[in-house]
Structure 1
Amino acid sequence: MSVPPAAPTAAPAPAPHRARVWARAAGLAVAAALVLTGCGTSASGSDGDGKDAKAGSSAAFPVSIKHAHGTTEITAKPKRVVAVSWMNQDIVAALGTMPVGVDKQWGGDKDGHTPWFRAQAEKIGGKLPETLNYGDAGEIDFEQILSLEPDLILGLYSGITDVDYKRLAEIAPTVPYLKRPFDGGTWQSMTRTIGKALGENEKAEALVTGVEGRLATVVKENPDFQGKTFTFGTALTPGSTEAGLYVDYDPRVRLLNEMGFVNTPSMKAITDTVKGTNFYGGISLEKLDTIKADVYVGWAYDPKEVPYSLNDPLFKRWAPIKNKNYTFIKDAELGMATSGPTVLSIPWALERYVPMLADAVAGKGAPAS
């Protein structure tokens, strides 16, 4: 369901199958308290970004949200929310509601919670959410979700099938991905969609405005980022014959766009290799030099993968690697924060991520060791 599809056996998985995510994968600082005025109320809400209903009031409901599997109507403010995909639980918590069930987060603590989510949970107070169980192939534990007695199920960054959706919708109103699997839209639109579902449109807009302000500061303070072309991928692993590179709608790619970086002009070559519902392509190492980029950003589950990659005879000849215009995310927490950017994780990530990107732009990529 919300399991990112596995990569071809010839290449490492850029955003792995759930069974692999946990075995091998990828503090709210918003000061703005924007109060929107002139927000009209609607008996049925709207299908846009949810700015037309009074935040947190009964007047916000019912609302209807269109998505890939149909339309979900939410008749009253949800109090027990289950999040079956990355990022969603961050937004629910940022809007002031403690989820009752969440995905275990790669890079999280022993309970599967990231530092930014736990910090927000402490502000809310109360019992931490239960971590959801999945089968070896990523099957949903419907019985567990049923036992949590949710009144809303969220899976905007998921691969929920039509069959899964129908079963989840029998338990509670369910909002899956809006257009295509594993495309939750921008972090802004995801925040607004969840804000609408919770009747917290104004809070959602204030969160978006605050984080956009943080990103605007990054742009202003790092003029060297502006216009630099990049591609985002994974470190190589033994036996790799391809480089896994993400497509333009992937969250980690979009986050770099917001800091001024520009997608590789070779993006079509990457998307042409995408199979099924995957959100990454595989480029043969022998053809890697056809992918043009000023900067390469990668992540590695195991730090040992970085020197392995940098010593690969084909990979190290690629321009951004040869010129040391690269950086690798080796920290699991930062990997999660940048793979699933949210109003909670972005402020946490920026102070760690921006210096790494600055070194990559400056040609200070660390040598292999």
Structure 2
Amino acid sequence: MLSRPIVLLAPGETARGEELVRTADVAFTDADAAHPGFRGKVGATVLPFDGKYGAFTDADARGQFMAGLGFVQPPGIAERDDDTSFYVEIAPEQARLLDGDVLVALADEGSARRQVDSDPVLRRIPVVARGDVVVPDADTRGAMTYNSVLSAPYALERLVPQLAGKLAG
């Protein structure tokens, strides 16, 4: 669910804003109801950068998005989350901390995507070795990142079937 929805509308559009918040909340509720198997599954959301990985915490919209679907952080990430940042930095030699039931890699089409596809350490992590990695397209990645009342339903529509497919396999 959206923990802090931001709705920027013209003055006097309060009712429209409340409707958008309800619509987004219903989208999360519907996704949760349709996929109860997500609850309690371990799923990290990471962004490759500079040869490392940033695992998003619940302090970030991307972490909140996954939590809204019932996913929990990998234990190693949760243990390193000291509430001072919106992500936990993971060096390549710590990549095993990203293991779980599914991994969402927010890689752009450039060097970050090549890092995900070619990192030999990352490929040895069971979740990656099994192929349970989702790399959303740019629009879905952006919608998940913003996690607003307008973008969340779009991200849910696109990402939930990919997550379900990975967990069913």
> Normalised by the size of structure 2, how large is the TM-score?
0.82
User: 2:6 maps to which residue?
Assistant: 191
| Distance in 1 (alpha carbons) for counterparts of 2:34 and 2:129 | 27
| Distance in 2 (alpha carbons) for counterparts of 1:353 and 1:296 | 12
**1:332 maps to 2:138:** yes
Q: Is the 8 A contact 1:245 1:270 kept in 2?
A: no
What's the CA shift for 1:190?
Answer: 3.1
Q: Is the 8 A contact 1:228 1:294 kept in 2?
A: yes
User: 1:358 maps to which residue?
Assistant: 164
User: 1:281 maps to which residue?
Assistant: 88
Match of 2:59 among 232, 236, 249: 249
Deviations 1:29-78 (A, max 9, x none): xxxxxxxxxxxxxxxxxxxxxxxxxxxxxxxxxxxxxxxxxxxxxxxxxx
**Alpha carbons of 1:281 and 1:189: their partners in 2 closer, same or farther (altered >3 Å)?**
closer
AA at the equivalent of 1:208: V
Alignment gaps of 5+ in structure 2:
none
| Distance in 2 (alpha carbons) for counterparts of 1:266 and 1:319 | 15
User: 1:299 maps to which residue?
Assistant: 106
Match of 1:341 among 100, 122, 147: 147
| Distance in 2 (alpha carbons) for counterparts of 1:300 and 1:291 | 15
Q: Is the 8 A contact 2:143 2:151 kept in 1?
A: yes
What's the CA shift for 1:263?
Answer: 2.4
User: 2:77 maps to which residue?
Assistant: 267
| Distance in 2 (alpha carbons) for counterparts of 1:320 and 1:281 | 19
**Alpha carbons of 1:288 and 1:244: their partners in 2 closer, same or farther (altered >3 Å)?**
same
AA at the equivalent of 1:263: Q
AA at the equivalent of 1:221: A
What's the CA shift for 1:206?
Answer: 2.3
**1:316 maps to 2:116:** no
Aligned residues between the structures = 169
SS of alignment partner, residue 148 of structure 2? coil
What's the CA shift for 1:292?
Answer: 4.5
Q: Which shifted more, 245-254 or 261-270?
A: 261-270
| Distance in 2 (alpha carbons) for counterparts of 1:319 and 1:270 | 20
Deviations 1:120-178 (A, max 9, x none): xxxxxxxxxxxxxxxxxxxxxxxxxxxxxxxxxxxxxxxxxxxxxxxxxxxxxxxxxxx
**1:258 maps to 2:68:** yes
> Normalised by the size of structure 1, how large is the TM-score?
0.41
What's the CA shift for 1:344?
Answer: 1.1
| Distance in 1 (alpha carbons) for counterparts of 2:39 and 2:128 | 20
Deviations 1:196-219 (A, max 9, x none): x94544433222122211221111
Query: Which fold has the larger relative contact order, with Cα–Cα distance below 8 Å and residues 6 or more apart in sequence?
Result: 2
| Distance in 2 (alpha carbons) for counterparts of 1:303 and 1:297 | 17
SS of alignment partner, residue 263 of structure 1? coil
* Higher radius of gyration, 1 or 2: 1
AA at the equivalent of 1:247: T
| Distance in 2 (alpha carbons) for counterparts of 1:309 and 1:191 | 32
AA at the equivalent of 2:150: L
Query: Counting helix residues as a fraction of each chain, which structure ranks higher?
Result: 2
